[in-house]
């Protein structure tokens, strides 16, 4: 009986042309976005591989010199491109993809763009995620706005109810029919998952990619499910299909364009973050204080790199200085990054009203392109920088400090350079993404349950 | 089978039904006559559970409609004055859908085609989209849907409106067959002749009140007309 209702609905979508037009258009956009994104990823992917290799070659082949000079020149590390980034590029284009590992400071390049990370304004960029998040609900609305109200106008609803068909069965059938539409939209993503396991260019992360796309599909089904039940509820409550359409379009516009922008500002107000100049000033002040304290403690002077400390102790001093900085850096960046996460979480909660706010976050996390993943990369890069620093300061302590006043005549070559390992970064596994998405997924599931309850309540009395 | 006990319905201050009591038993054909706005459709809507009584109650097969909205609908089939169907589906598909929903079982298409032919819908029309149908053609599909349900009671609200005389006549025959099989038929009509021909019992309503009830065998055509007009006058 349910299947009967489903096939009739689908037949109607199909015969009145809505399905071919709406779903066809959305599917074409989706596939285009998919191919464009994939193409770009392939290009950038190989570019980065090459750049990373060249940079490390430069490091290994640099001439003999004082290790600290080498540290000033530093090394560049490149963020690997997550396999699913072409589905949802997330903050990819807003944060730096390279990080400069150099002496003394965690570089700033990496968090300047990250300031925009939560203020992400991706509207207008054609990505598969955008198509599902924005056009997906529109497709559902176009297919479903007259589900009940149209039949009420037509008079067929009375006819159905007079047969003794329980309204919940009608609701279930209509919801399933709309899910078919939603499924059509998500099918390319599923196809990709299948292809991901059989493809060969994603070796190593294949399994993880499959799990991630599975969760991505799940999340999007929940997301579209929310719209399906809201659409049916509104259609059941409104007297005419014209009113249902107006109400639903208003909800769509607010939920997919206005609310996401407005909530970014709200989150910024609730959890303010310093601008870059302020952040740097504060960090510098803190660093100076830490440095002074450490130098005072070790060398009895608060003047760094002055004549009070003989050159024969500069290797040791470098180490003291570095370690004094690490704490301050961790504290400051940690606090800033925690703020970003607070902002994100706040927006996710508003997903109860506007589901796009939680799916946006969830989708980025599953695609490994959200801020949490970026943070993981930045932390690894910083660890690598510290590894280089520690190698250098201990080398200087062992060898250069013995040279006394001729400290800066000390030089190292290839043998030392190759002690610094390549930067090998593996993006965290799907489980990491899931842990970070408990909040957004929870909100999505709660919204789905609420919308289902709302739909059943609205359709309890259809005449 | 169908029973109304002192049924009263007010729409705000407007009294649409005023303490109406009537009953239709199995095998009986009850024809309700009355001017426009008398309350006939309102009464039928109560049997269908589309309206809630202000006071009194309506029973189908002994069960109160208000408290058993689904159960009571299973026992009745309904033909409205204007049968509403899905325009993008063919007549056959409409019949297939509605009758499958009503009975929970999908009937073979050939059986359905035969049913449509029985009420006089041309075979060619059965395969056309309903959007292209005339009113009478839709009415015929509606009649088939109701008949295919094999319900214990038929509720008919001016079912023959839009039917040509031949089709109306065939429909009367269908009703008689149904009542012979023990179906209770409750129908509203404006056609005194038709009421006398098909009905066993006839009721006359005006302004929400049931004014007269009699057996059709007890009166002649001429009597009926005068009784009707007398009740409409004062
Ligand atoms: N939903 C409603 N709201 C307010 N008044 C209504 C409603 N439905 C019917 N009425 C009123 O109830 C009265 C009876 O209407 P009803 O439709 O039952 O008449 P009827 O006997 O079926 O007439 P007709 O022969 O024209 O079909 C009318 O006065 C009508 O205006
Ligand atoms: Mg009427």
Q: pLDDT tens for residues A90-108?
A: 887 777 677 777 766 665 4
Range of the domain at B88: 84-150
Residue in chain A closest to B89 (alpha carbons) equals: A12
- Which residues of chain A lie closer than 8 angstroms to B87, CB-CB? 154
- Among the listed residues B113, B115, B95, B114, the one whose alpha carbon sits nearest the alpha carbon of residue B103: B95
Q: Provide the residue range defining the domain that includes A418.
A: 2-458
**How would residue A198 be classed by pLDDT, with cut points 50, 70 and 90?**
low
Same domain flag for B31 and B144:
no
On whether both B132 and B191 belong to a single domain, the answer is no
Q: Which residues of A touch B71 (CB under 8 A)?
A: 164
* Domain co-membership, B157 together with B218: yes
Residue A118 has pLDDT above 70, yes or no: no
Q: Could you give the count of Cα atoms lying within 13 Å of B39 in the half-sphere of its Cβ?
A: 25
Chain A residue nearest residue B51, CA to CA: A463
Residue of A27, A43, A76, A234 whose CA lies nearest to A146: A234
Pairing of strands B209-215, B184-188: unpaired
Please give the model's pTM, rounded to 2 decimal places.
0.89
- Determine the residue of chain A that is closest to B105 in CA distance: A1
Determine the Cα angle at A341 with ends A276 and A131, to 5°.
Answer: 100
d(CA B127, CA B118): 15
- B85/A156 CB distance under 8 A: yes
Query: Facing residues of A78 across strands?
Result: A98
Domain check: are B40 and B126 in the same one?
Answer: no
How far is B143 from chain A, CA to nearest CA, in Å?
A: 12
**Residue A404 pLDDT grade (very low, low, confident, very high; cuts 50, 70, 90):** low
Q: Which residue, of B131, B150, B169, is where some domain finishes?
A: B150
Question: Which is more confidently placed, A396 or B111?
Answer: B111
pLDDT at residue A111, as a whole number: 39
Angle subtended at Cα A424 by Cα A418 and Cα A426, rounded to the nearest 5 degrees: 175
Asked whether B40 lines ligand 1 (CB < 6 A), one says yes
Whether A172 contacts A2, CB under 8 Å: yes
Whether residue B190 lies within 8 A of chain A, CB to CB, comes out as no
Whether residue B71 is found in the same domain as residue B162 = yes
Residue of B47, B52, B83, B88 to mutate, testing the A interface (most A Cβ within 10 Å of its Cβ): B88
Q: Which residues of B touch A3 (CB under 8 A)?
A: none
The per-residue pLDDT for A120 is: 42
Q: Is A11 on the interface with B (CB under 8 A)?
A: yes
Identify whether A463 is part of a domain. no
CA distance B129 to chain A (A): 11
Q: Are B157 and B228 in the same domain?
A: yes
Cα–Cα nearest to A73, from A322, A388, A330, A333:
A388
Distance from the CA of B14 to the center of ligand 1, in angstroms?
A: 10
Fill in the DSSP letter of residue A288: H
Interface of B with A in 54-83 (CB under 8 A): 70-71, 73-74, 76, 78, 80, 82-83
Closest chain B residue to the Cα of A12, Cα to Cα = B88
Co-location of B139 and B185 in the same domain: no
Q: Which domain-ending residue is among B150, B178, B197?
A: B150
B34 lines ligand 1 (CB under 6 A): yes
- Measure the CA–CA gap between B15 and B53, rounded to whole angstroms: 12
CB A120 within 8 A of CB A142: no
The total of structural domains in chain A comes to 1
Rg, Å, chain B Cα set = 18
- Tokens representing A95? 């944060």
CA distance A167 to chain B (A): 10
| B92 Cβ contact partners less than 8 Å away, ≥ 6 residues apart | B109, B112, B113, B116, B126, B127
B204 and B163 in a common domain = yes
SS3 A400: helix
Among chain A residues, CA nearest to B47: A162
Residues B146 and B160 grouped into a single domain = no
Is residue A309 domain-resident?
A: yes
**For residue A106, what pLDDT is reported?**
63
Contact, B66 vs B234, CB < 8 A? no
Using a CB–CB cutoff of 8 Å, tell me whether A461 touches chain B: no
Q: Which residues of A touch B86 (CB under 8 A)?
A: 8, 12, 154, 156
Tokens (6 digits) for B48:
């269908």
- A193 pLDDT tier (thresholds 50, 70, 90): low
Closest C-alpha to ligand 1, atom 1: B11
Interchain CB contact of B47 with A (< 8 Å): no
Task: Note whether residue A67 is domain-resident.
Answer: yes
Residues of B whose CB is below 8 A from A161: 48, 50, 73
Output phi, psi for A255, to 5 deg.
-70, -30
CA-only gyration radius of chain A, Å: 28
pLDDT band at A112 (very low <50, low <70, confident <90, very high): very low
CB of B152 less than 8 A from some CB of A? no
Final residue of a structural domain among B102, B124, B150: B150
Average pLDDT over residues A12-41: 81
Chain B residues in contact with A4 (beta carbon < 8 A): 97, 100-101, 106
ipTM for the predicted complex comes to: 0.90
Identify whether residues B71 and B95 lie together within a single domain. Answer: no
Is residue A115's pLDDT more than 60? no
Residue in B42, B160, B231 to alter for ligand 1 test, most ligand atoms within 8 A of Cβ: B42
Q: How far apart are CA B89 and CA B128, in angstroms?
A: 8
Question: Which of A12, A164, A169 is best to mutate for the B interface (most B CBs within 10 A)?
Answer: A164
Res A28 pLDDT > 80: yes
pLDDT: which is higher, A203 or A244: A244
Contact A8 B88 (CB under 8 A): no
Q: Which ligand has the minimum distance to the alpha carbon of residue B40? A: 1
pLDDT of residue A298: 74
pLDDT tens-digit readout, A362-386: 999 999 989 899 889 888 888 888 8
A61 phi/psi in degrees, rounded to 5: -95, 10
Structure tokens at A184: 């059509």
The widest CA-to-CA distance across chain B, in whole angstroms, is 54
Is residue B159 domain-shared with residue B68, that is, in the same domain?
yes
B50, B78, B104 member nearest A1 (Cβ)? B104
Residue at A420 is within a domain: yes
Mean pLDDT confidence for A306-322: 75
Q: Report CA torsion sign: B82, B87, B92, B94.
A: negative
Distance (Å) from CA A249 to ligand 2 centroid: 37
Kindly state whether A156 is in contact with chain B, defined as any CB-CB distance less than 8 angstroms.
yes
B77 CA from centroid of ligand 2 (Å):
17
Q: Which of B80, B88, B98 sits opposite A12 (nearest CB)?
A: B88
Domains held by chain B: number: 2
Considering the domain architecture, whether residues B64 and B26 belong to the same structural domain is answered as: yes
Cα B151 to the chain's mean position, in Å?
A: 12
Cα end-to-end span (Å), chain A: 21
Environment class of B23 (CB within 10 Å of its CB; exposed 0-12, middle 13-18, buried 19+)? middle
Q: How confident is the model at residue A130 (pLDDT cuts 50, 70, 90)?
A: confident
Name the closest-CA residue to atom 24, ligand 1.
B36
Are B85 and A163 a contacting pair at CB < 8 A? no
Closest listed residue to residue A271, CA positions, set A352, A349, A344, A357: A344
Q: Is residue A354 part of a domain?
A: yes
Q: Give the residues of chain B that fall short of pLDDT 70.
A: 234
Q: Do B73 and A4 touch (CB under 8 A)?
A: no
Beta-ladder partners of B188:
B32, B157
> A406 - beta bridge partners?
none
Partnered with residue B19 across adjacent β-strands are none
Ligand 1 proximity of B13 Cβ (cutoff 6 Å): no
Strands B184-188 and B55-60: unpaired
- pLDDT (tens digit per residue) in B27-42: 999 999 998 999 999 9
What gap in Å lies between CA B83 and CA B142, rounded to an integer? 6
pLDDT of residue A113: 36
Query: What CATH number is given to the structural domain containing B60?
Result: 3.40.50.300
Q: Which two tokens stand for residue A420?
A: 């610094």
Lowest-confidence pick of A41-45, A248-252, B79-83, B160-164 = A41-45
Question: Does the Cβ of B198 fall within 6 Å of ligand 1?
Answer: no
Q: How far is the CA of B37 from the centre of ligand 1 (A)?
A: 5
């Amino acid at each position: 009986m349910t299947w009967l209702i489903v096939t009739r609905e689908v037949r109607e979508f199909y015969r009145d042309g809505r399905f071919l037009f709406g779903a066809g258009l959305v599917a074409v956009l989706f596939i285009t976005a998919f191919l464009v994104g994939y193409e770009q990823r392939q290009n950038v992917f190989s570019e980065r591989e090459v750049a990373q290799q060249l940079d490390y070659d430069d490091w290994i082949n640099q001439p003999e010199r004082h290790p600290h000079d080498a540290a000033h020149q530093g090394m560049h590390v490149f963020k690997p491109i997550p396999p699913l980034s072409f589905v949802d590029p997330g903050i990819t284009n807003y944060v730096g993809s390279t990080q400069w590992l150099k002496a003394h400071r965690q570089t700033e390049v990496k968090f300047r763009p990250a300031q925009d990370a939560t203020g992400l304004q991706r509207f207008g960029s054609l990505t598969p995620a955008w198509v599902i998040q924005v056009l997906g609900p529109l497709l559902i609305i176009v297919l479903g706005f007259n589900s009940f109200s149209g039949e009420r106008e037509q008079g067929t609803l009375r006819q159905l109810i007079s047969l003794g068909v329980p309204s919940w069965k009608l609701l279930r059938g209509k919801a399933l029919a709309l899910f078919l539409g939603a499924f059509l939209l998500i099918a390319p993503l599923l196809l990709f998952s299948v292809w991901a396991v059989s493809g060969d260019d994603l070796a190593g992360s294949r399994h993880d990619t499959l799990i991630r796309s599975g969760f991505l599909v799940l999340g999007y089904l929940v997301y579209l499910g929310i719209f399906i039940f809201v659409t049916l509820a509104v259609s059941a409550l409104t007297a005419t299909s014209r009113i249902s359409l107006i109400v639903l379009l208003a909800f769509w516009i607010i939920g997919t364009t206005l609310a996401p922008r407005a909530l970014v500002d709200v989150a910024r107000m609730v959890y303010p973050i310093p601008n870059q100049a302020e952040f740097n000033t504060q960090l510098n002040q803190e660093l100076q204080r830490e440095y002074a304290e450490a130098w005072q403690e070790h060398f009895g002077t608060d003047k760094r790199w002055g004549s009070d400390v003989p050159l024969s102790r500069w290797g040791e001093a470098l180490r003291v200085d570095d370690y004094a900085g690490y704490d301050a850096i961790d504290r400051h960046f940690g606090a800033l990054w925690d703020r970003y996460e607070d902002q994100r979480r706040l927006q996710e909660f508003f997903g109860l009203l506007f589901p796009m706010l939680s799916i946006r976050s969830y989708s980025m996390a599953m695609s490994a392109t959200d801020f949490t993943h970026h943070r993981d990369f930045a932390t690894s890069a910083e660890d690598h920088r510290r590894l280089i620093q520690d190698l250098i300061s201990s080398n200087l302590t062992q060898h250069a400090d013995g040279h006394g006043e001729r400290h800066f005549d000390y030089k190292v070559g290839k043998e030392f350079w190759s002690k610094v390992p390549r930067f090998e970064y593996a993006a965290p596994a799907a489980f990491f993404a899931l842990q970070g998405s408990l909040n957004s997924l929870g909100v999505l599931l709660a919204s789905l349950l609420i919308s289902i309850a709302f739909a059943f309540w609205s359709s309890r009395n259809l005449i | 089978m169908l029973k109304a006990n002192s049924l009263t319905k007010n729409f705000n201050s407007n009294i649409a039904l005023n303490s109406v009591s009537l009953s239709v038993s199995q095998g009986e054909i009850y024809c309700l006559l009355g001017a426009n706005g008398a309350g006939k459709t309102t009464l039928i809507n109560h049997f269908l559970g589309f309206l809630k009584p202000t006071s009194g109650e309506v029973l189908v097969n002994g069960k109160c409609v208000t408290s058993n909205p689904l159960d009571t609908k299973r026992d009745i089939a309904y033909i409205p004055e204007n049968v509403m169907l899905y325009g993008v589906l063919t007549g056959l598909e409409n019949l297939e859908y509605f009758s499958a929903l009503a009975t929970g079982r999908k009937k073979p298409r050939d059986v359905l085609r035969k049913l449509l032919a029985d009420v006089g819908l041309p075979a060619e029309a059965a395969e056309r989209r309903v959007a292209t149908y005339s009113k009478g053609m839709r009415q015929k599909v509606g009649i088939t849907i109701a008949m295919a349900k094999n319900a214990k009671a038929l509720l008919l609200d001016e079912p023959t409106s839009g039917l040509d005389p031949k089709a109306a006549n065939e429909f009367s025959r269908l009703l008689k067959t149904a009542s012979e099989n023990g179906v209770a038929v409750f129908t509203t009509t404006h056609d005194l002749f038709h009421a006398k021909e098909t009905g066993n019992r006839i009721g006359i309503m005006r302004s929400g009140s049931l004014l007269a009830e009699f057996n059709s065998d007890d009166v002649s055509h001429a009597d009926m007309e005068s009784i009707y007009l007398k009740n409409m006058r004062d």
